[in-house]
Chains A and B, each alone.
Chain A
């Protein structure tokens, strides 16, 4: 004689199990129950409510399925999946590291080149400065020599001109003395009726010129 175990939710029958004393239980969904409702009513045995699984105690089938699933995942992850993904990560990171190392080397080379260029630039600047100074010194010396030569030439020319001037002045002075002496002799002769001594006239003219020259 089977026993019907009826489960209700919100007053509605959701699950029925028919359990017989000498056979395995049979689970019957509510649709089947509705179809077989008259039979269940006829059976009319005591209704024992199935309280459902314990909320705390683990169920064997869940342990098996849950544990089995995890073990499969763990084994595959350990042996196949993780090594492949990890290998991919390490390969890419290795490439990235190599690229970074390459870039670092290129940068170091570029820095070396820049340092060499800057060093050469300093040398070239020093050489240019040295040459400019040398040229300046040469130019100064040449200018000094030229100035000295020109000064000497000017001095010589001046001396020549001074000598020429002195000669001309002396000649002019003699001519003026002669002319004055002549004029004085003529004037004296006209005034006194006789010609004065030429030597006295000449001496007087010379003294007069000297006096006038000293006053000027």
Chain B
């Protein structure tokens, strides 16, 4: 109807290499890591005895958010040693999500599969290692395959499900949840941006299409704001699930 030529998804996510093989996704990841390091580097230079403000306040807020809302809620006090790992995960994912709504960048690094997959593999290695360390190899897999308090005939059904769920499905669900949400958000923004542009630049039926361009434009603005929330939420979900997996591996009775 509008003669809208929507590019294939492959085109939307294609980014040329800038330096060597460093493309936009890599640059966002490097930038996210750099910003996180910079925030904490600046925060660590403040006088600790004074009331925190600015960057220090932000860093302390992040640390306490992870400790109070994630570690203490899922692992407990003895899991506070995992705060640096979970903090790194949360900040890195959030800063990789955020460029999806930043002009010029306009692409969440987690909207490509590489970073979510890498992080999921790390989480997978970590929680399995923690489980084996705390329960022993046999104890850990026994705990996974034969959860206590279940009637024995149910094990026929439950054991393969639990094994596949814990060992195979978990890392993929973590990776795909993050990747798919961010890519879907990015595609929505692209869709409404293209639709707005097409309607504002319509060559026919201008009297109808140009004013109606406000509608996708409004939706674009709404979704942009919504993506801020989604970016935070996905980082939080990934981090809290990681904490839940680690907590479960440490305390199987929970």
At the interface, yes or no: A77 with Cβ under 8 Å from chain B?
Answer: yes
CB atoms of A82 and B87 under 8 A apart: yes
Residues of chain B in range 1-57 having any CB-CB distance to chain A below 8 Å:
5, 7-11, 13-14, 16-17, 21-23, 25-27, 29-30, 32-34, 36-37, 40-41, 43-44, 46, 48-50, 52, 56
CB atoms of A85 and B40 under 8 A apart: yes
CB atoms of B48 and A87 under 8 A apart: yes
Contacts of A81 in B (CB 8 A): 37, 40-41, 44
Residue of A whose beta carbon sits closest to that of B112: A62
Residue of A whose beta carbon sits closest to that of B50: A92
Cα distance, A81 to B122, chains bound together (Å): 20
**Which one, B113-121, B153-161, B209-217, B231-239, is touching chain A?**
B113-121
Cα distance, A86 to B9, chains bound together (Å): 44
Contacts of B56 in A (CB 8 A): 85, 88
CB atoms of B114 and A88 under 8 A apart: no
At the interface, yes or no: B127 with Cβ under 8 Å from chain A?
Answer: no
At the interface, yes or no: A72 with Cβ under 8 Å from chain B?
Answer: yes
A180 nearest CB across to chain B (Å): 124
A58-B113, A65-B30 in contact; A82/B118 too (CB < 8 A)? no
At the interface, yes or no: A193 with Cβ under 8 Å from chain B?
Answer: no
Contacts of A84 in B (CB 8 A): 40, 44
Cα distance, A84 to B59, chains bound together (Å): 11
Pick from B13, B27, B49: contact of A53, CB under 8 Å: B13
A62-B115, A73-B36 in contact; A86/B10 too (CB < 8 A)? no
Contacts of B113 in A (CB 8 A): 56-58
Name A's interface SS.
helix
Pick from A10, A59, A82, A87: contact of B112, CB under 8 Å: A59
Cα distance, A77 to B83, chains bound together (Å): 10
A35 nearest CB across to chain B (Å): 18
At the interface, yes or no: A89 with Cβ under 8 Å from chain B?
Answer: yes
At the interface, yes or no: B132 with Cβ under 8 Å from chain A?
Answer: no
Cα distance, A55 to B112, chains bound together (Å): 7
How many chain-B residues does the 8 Å CB contact rule pick out?
55
At the interface, yes or no: A9 with Cβ under 8 Å from chain B?
Answer: yes
Contacts of A86 in B (CB 8 A): 63, 83
CB atoms of A66 and B8 under 8 A apart: no
CB atoms of B22 and A27 under 8 A apart: no
Cα distance, A27 to B16, chains bound together (Å): 9
At the interface, yes or no: A74 with Cβ under 8 Å from chain B?
Answer: yes
At the interface, yes or no: B162 with Cβ under 8 Å from chain A?
Answer: no
Cα distance, A189 to B27, chains bound together (Å): 172
CB atoms of B25 and A62 under 8 A apart: yes
Residues of chain B in range 115-166 having any CB-CB distance to chain A below 8 Å:
115, 117-119, 122
Contacts of B25 in A (CB 8 A): 59, 62, 65-66
In the complex, besides A62-B115, A66-B96, A66-B118, 19 extra interface pairs with C-beta distance below 8 angstroms are A52-B10, A52-B11, A52-B14, A53-B13, A61-B21, A62-B23, A62-B29, A63-B117, A69-B34, A73-B91, A74-B85, A76-B40, A77-B88, A78-B88, A81-B41, A87-B48, A88-B43, A88-B44, A92-B52
- What is A's interface to B at a CB cutoff of 8 Å? 7, 9-11, 15, 27, 29, 51-59, 61-67, 69-70, 72-74, 76-78, 80-82, 84-89, 91-92, 95
